[in-house]
Amino acid sequence: MKKEAVSLQHIKKANDWDTVIFLYKSALKEMRTKIDILNDEFQHFHRYNPIEHIKSRIKTPESIVKKLKRCGHESSVENMVRYINDIAGIRITCSFTSDIYRLSEMLTSRDDITILSVKDYIRHPKESGYQSYHLLVSVPIFSSDEIVNTKVEIQIRTVAQDFWATLEHKMYYKFEGNAPSHISKELRECAEIVSQLDQKMLQLNTEIQSYGTTS
């Protein structure tokens, strides 16, 4: 069976927006299933569930076109596949930062996905204060005559980080990337508070667990 990536070679053969979106939707289902199984495995063997919420989505055509324009690229299926990495996206929300790294280790150790890039915005936050853990992976999609490797972006963050990121997202689109300086400053300060809160909650949880169970 011939193995390909979602690349120029495949696009020239498909040359069809709907076909490419079908591949991304299939990759999203594959990755979501793998994460759901990991979640069940934690619950079954460890009696502990590190995942609070899982959300998945396919980027809308409007969002794809806007992002291509922001990056200085023409709107085409070819450019969409080449330059946009978050067309298929999964967001995992955890209770503690330790859960994020534990889950990341389990995902990166799998041999049925390929890790394309890792960005740790928790240890190295963005200038805005944004904190999250990003994995860009490639998932093999099996069709009747070929294997097409398709990209999925996975974001893993704590509940507090997700709350902050939601507000930053609203601010970005409200002001089209040009928020008043005092609002940006206060949001960065909130990011520091979120980081301190996550650290404190992790410490408390570790201390609680150290007591063990009592009869």
Check: CB of residue 90 under 8 Å from CB of residue 152: yes
**Phi/psi of residue 42, nearest 5 degrees:** -55, -45
Which residues make Cβ contacts (< 8 Å) with residue 24, sequence separation at least 6? Answer: 58, 87, 88, 150, 151, 152
DSSP element (H, E) containing 79: helix 77-83
Place of tokens 């919420």: 53
Distance CA 17, CA 75 (A): 11
Residue 155's DSSP bridge partners are 91, 134
In the Cβ-directed half-sphere of 198, how many Cα atoms lie within 13 Å? Answer: 26
Distance CA 134, CA 112 (A): 18
**Phi/psi of residue 21, nearest 5 degrees:** -65, -35
**153 flagged as catalytic:** yes
Which residue out of 146, 153, 176, 186 is catalytically annotated?
153
User: Which residue numbers are catalytic?
Assistant: 153
